[in-house]
Structure 1
Amino acid sequence: MASFALNEHYERFIQSQLESGRYNNASDVVRAGLRMLEDFEAARERWLLEEIPSRLEDIRRNPGKAVSLEDAFSRLEARHQAIVAKT
């Protein structure tokens, strides 16, 4: 059986999940988190292995769909500024 040390933040989070009544014990909370991580990693791998190569091939076939690096950075900066403005 594995044993893990968690900091206070995660101990409080697990406790709050138990108090919500959604989970029966700490192991259920950890298993739920691991399932979510597993799903996230699978989606990330699909994105890297399937979506990125197909999008690159699409751009090679139709270069007009590409976004310049300058435009991409401008869009990212605008998103960042919008997020910062909300906080």
Structure 2
Amino acid sequence: MTRQSISITAPNDHWLKAQVENEEYASKSEVVNDLIRKARAQQDEIEWIRAKLIKAEQSGFTDESPAEILTAFKEEARRNGDL
């Protein structure tokens, strides 16, 4: 594991400490690593949606615009609790 030194704002430090105090995590490092994992997973979802939009746009299967398709994906993800 690589050791890093970062600077954070006071409000963010209070929030990190609260996560540890609430026993959600054992350390602030765990909180930061979990946030990074979630951000990476979200990026993977974004890439998946982008690929679906490109495929749909190129297939000629729909006459919806990319913005309309993206809106529909987001609405479905919200309904499913994924977003």
TM-score (structure 1 length as normaliser):
0.63
Counterpart residue number, 1:78: none
Query: Structure 2 stretches of 5 or more lacking a match?
Result: 69-83
The structure that has the greater radius of gyration is: 1
What stretches of structure 1 of length at least 5 have no aligned partner?
A: 73-87
Query: Aligned partners of 2:48, 2:19: CA distance in 1, in Å?
Result: 30
Q: What's the offset of the Cα at 1:61?
A: 3.5
Alpha-carbon distance in structure 2 between the residues aligned to 1:44 and 1:34: 15
Match of 2:54 in 1: 53
Alignment of 1:13 onto 2:20: no
Query: When you count helix as a share of all residues, which structure comes out higher?
Result: 1
Percent identity reads 14
Over the aligned positions, Cα root-mean-square deviation in angstroms equals 2.0
Runs of 4+ in 1 over 3 A off after TM superposition: none
Q: CA deviation at 1:57?
A: 2.9
